[in-house]
Structure 1
Amino acid sequence: MNAAQRALPVRSFAELKPLRRRLAEAAAQEAERARAQAEAERRAQRERQLFAHAVGPVQPLKGQGARHWHVAEPPEPIPVQRQLDEARVLREALSDEFDVSTLLDVDDQLSYRRSGMGLDVTRKLRSGAWSIQRQLDLHGLRTDEAREALAEFIRLAHRTGLRCVRIIHGKGLGSPGKTPVLKGRVQRWLVQKKEVLAFVQARPADGGAGALVVLLQPGRRS
């Protein structure tokens, strides 16, 4: 006698028929559970076989037990606000209202030399004694863009030890009235930069009236 039969004692023949019905229901439920479990196992087996068929034979990599995985540290945040502040300082440091006329040598090319520099400095610049190492072309830039580009160029040129550079501001042939818009501003901006010792109008082969050749203070790598 099984546990179900022990749990349902028979006290009379009248109870035998309901007892058989309950036993049959219990047996049917047990069979259904067994069938469902077997079906789940078959399904899992089919899925494992499908995966193995899809990826093919695999082998564990050697030395995986001793491998240590490290999560890379996130990159440093970009100091956007600091960059914006530095750009603003560069723009504000070069004034368009600066009177450059009193600082330019009165000649046909209006050259400039910082106080204490001899005439031979501009003479050598004009003769090509200094080799032009880099140049900045301001064509097509708006005034604010040109101011910022010039300030950044001079700062980096000086930092990397360059001594002689060329600034191309254009002759103004495409401007209203064919007047050079940037030429005067570039002169005013340059005399305000402490890195600039002198500048002259470029020789015809180097841009003529549309460019300036600039001599910089000795930098770190000169």
Structure 2
Amino acid sequence: MSRTLPPLTPHDALLVIDMQNDFVSPAGALSVRGGEEIIPGINALAARFPHVILTQDWHPRGHISFASTHGLQPFTDTVQAPYGTQTLWPDHCIQNTSGAALHSALDIPNTELILRKGFRKDIDSYSAFLENDRTTPTGLAGYLRERGLTRLFFCGLAYDFCVGFSAIDAVQHGFTAIVLQDLARAVALPTTVETTNDRFAALNIPRIHASHLAL
């Protein structure tokens, strides 16, 4: 999208997804390439938003999504969970560890809410709205509705998982979703970026650059 969007209003919120050490840092357990380079842009944009919400993966040890829990290999192996096929990951964002902490370069003092997800041992959680069983809510939708926040902008990590699932669920919960593509980075497993883009297109979710916002 090349046109400039309408100016921000008090009903707009920026959702900064999972900017944690294990994802952002090159030495992180589940490092996403380019994660560190989007921090300055996120900080600058967040300072100009009327409302900012952060999310944080918060897994217990032995989480269902960890390859080590099953004695299998991360990224390539999967298991069948009660809610469907579960991609397996390296152990990451374990509760109360440095890997789960928000990256120290993230500077968003106007954050209004930090939403933790993925803390149930037997359910993974990509979306900020629903866990991967697609029925267990995080409570975010109710929080947004009570505060009258209706247009949501998404950035952070990772584009093809937690950012993507969150934006899609936002639309399915009745919100307007816009993805800031230049302020997100992807894990980029085979077909995950293409699948995310196709789902965005099917739901008419715009993918824009932060420079397209009228601030």
TM-score, normalised relative to structure 2: 0.24
Question: Which protein has the bigger helix share?
Answer: 1
Q: Which has the higher contact order (CA 8 A, sep 6+)?
A: 2
Question: Which protein has the bigger strand share?
Answer: 2
Asked which structure has the greater CA Rg, the reply is: 1
TM-score, normalised relative to structure 1: 0.23
